[in-house]
Amino acid sequence: MFNSHKLLTALILTAGCAGMTISVVAASVDNTTGYYGYGKPATAAEIAGWDIDVRADGQGLPPGSGSVEDGEMLYEAKCAECHGSFGEGVGQFPVLAGGTGTLTAQRPLKTIGSYWAHASTLWDYIHRTMPFTQPQSLGDEEVYALVAYVLYLNDLVDDDFVLTQENFTTIELPNRANFVPDPRPDVHNTRCMRDCKPAADIKIVSIVMAPEPLASVDPMPDSGALIEHPGVAVYQQACVICHKVGVAGAPVVGDHKAWATRLSQGLSLLTQHAIEGYTGKQGVMPAKGGFTNLTDEQVTQAVAFMVESVQ
């Protein structure tokens, strides 16, 4: 088996005017491969790209600041389309504000102001995953401003508040005291294999009966029955979140005018944009809607389903 810590012997053929000569050169292998002989140690820059979490005590926060005023403009431009102008949530998107006093109700409304424990969770989440169609595209100052504005929507800061790295840990969310450490001890039991009961003495007193299979029935299909489109399942799983309410400029299913411009380019190009991703004047389409696990065929079927809704 190849050992990266040994020397490789390389045969180098050099051509000369008088003929061919063979010289043997010893070349040492760069000892940067991983433990199993592949990969390489992560560089400081690569680690920094992943190490972006922020702790409740403020560790991990970058220098910067942002005001409620600046956050309002950013929020309207990048967040309100999904979360509503007042944090009330649009369609299936999360509600960000309100819900105070509802945690003991039958249907509690869990928002930043009513449920969350730390403002650092809000900073980290916005920085890591928002906006929905362009995660990690916000600068640090923009994140500070958006956090400040969401806190304002929850009546936790005044309209002239400026959030900074220095005053961040002074923000205490109302429900923080209701998050407590798990009091159960951390135990590590060992498996007991002594004084076991002999297998012959173990009696089965009851068993779980397997359900009897139903008789196979192949009814004749109703000629008038609606056959579900093959793209419906993918649409409901991956597309409805944007194409039901028009998030990030996505054409709403059934909106003839919104689809007309796109269809004028041809179904083939429209499908290509859905698979590969596209940014245009009317909106942003992440590749496969962000669901990279989908096959090209599944995306094609979903596009066909949405197009047929306006034909």
- For 55, 68, 140, 161, 300, the CA distances from 164, given in Å and listed in that order, are 15, 11, 11, 10, 46
- Average pLDDT (281-309) is 84
Looking at residue 223, its pLDDT comes to 45
Averaged pLDDT of the chain: 81
Tell me if 65-178 shares its fold with 232-308.
yes
Q: CATH number of the domain at 232-308, out of 1.10.760.10, 3.90.1150.10, 3.30.365.10, 1.10.540.10?
A: 1.10.760.10
- Average pLDDT (232-260) is 81
Q: For the stretch 152-173, what's the b/e string if a residue is b when 16 or more beta carbons lie within 10 angstroms of its beta carbon?
A: bbbebbeeebbbeeeebbebeb
Q: Which residue has the higher pLDDT, 44 or 287?
A: 44
Looking at residue 151, its pLDDT comes to 98
Looking at residue 107, its pLDDT comes to 92
Q: Which residue has the higher pLDDT, 154 or 210?
A: 154
Q: What percent of the chain has pLDDT over 70?
A: 82
Long-range Cβ contacts of 86-89 (<8 Å, 24+ apart): 86/153, 87/111, 87/150, 87/153, 87/154
Looking at residue 74, its pLDDT comes to 96
Q: Is pTM, for the whole model, over 0.85?
A: no
End-to-end CA distance of the chain: 63
247 and 241 in contact (C-beta within 8 Å)?
yes
- For 210, 244, 275, 284, 299, the CA distances from 289, given in Å and listed in that order, are 42, 13, 8, 10, 9
Q: Is 50 helix (H, G, I), strand (E, B) or coil?
A: helix
CA atoms within 13 A on the CB side of 53: 5
CA atoms within 13 A on the CB side of 102: 14
Q: Which residue has the higher pLDDT, 10 or 273?
A: 273
Distance between CA 143 and CA 111 in Å, rounded? Answer: 18
Record the tokens describing residue 296, joined without a space: 């090209």
Superfamily of domain 65-178: Cytochrome c-like domain (1.10.760.10)
- Average pLDDT (256-284) is 82
Element (H, E) at 7: strand 7-16
Looking at residue 224, its pLDDT comes to 43
- Average pLDDT (260-265) is 81
Summarize pLDDT for 174-214 with one digit per residue, the tens: 999 999 888 888 877 777 778 888 888 888 777 766 666 65
Sketch the domain layout of the chain as residue ranges.
7-50, 65-178, 232-308
Q: State the pLDDT confidence band at 25, using cuts at 50, 70 and 90.
A: very low
Q: pLDDT at residue 11 above 50? A: no
Distance between CA 263 and CA 240 in Å, rounded? Answer: 19
146 and 131 in contact (C-beta within 8 Å)?
no
Element (H, E) at 120: helix 119-129
Looking at residue 102, its pLDDT comes to 95
Q: pLDDT at residue 252 above 80? A: yes
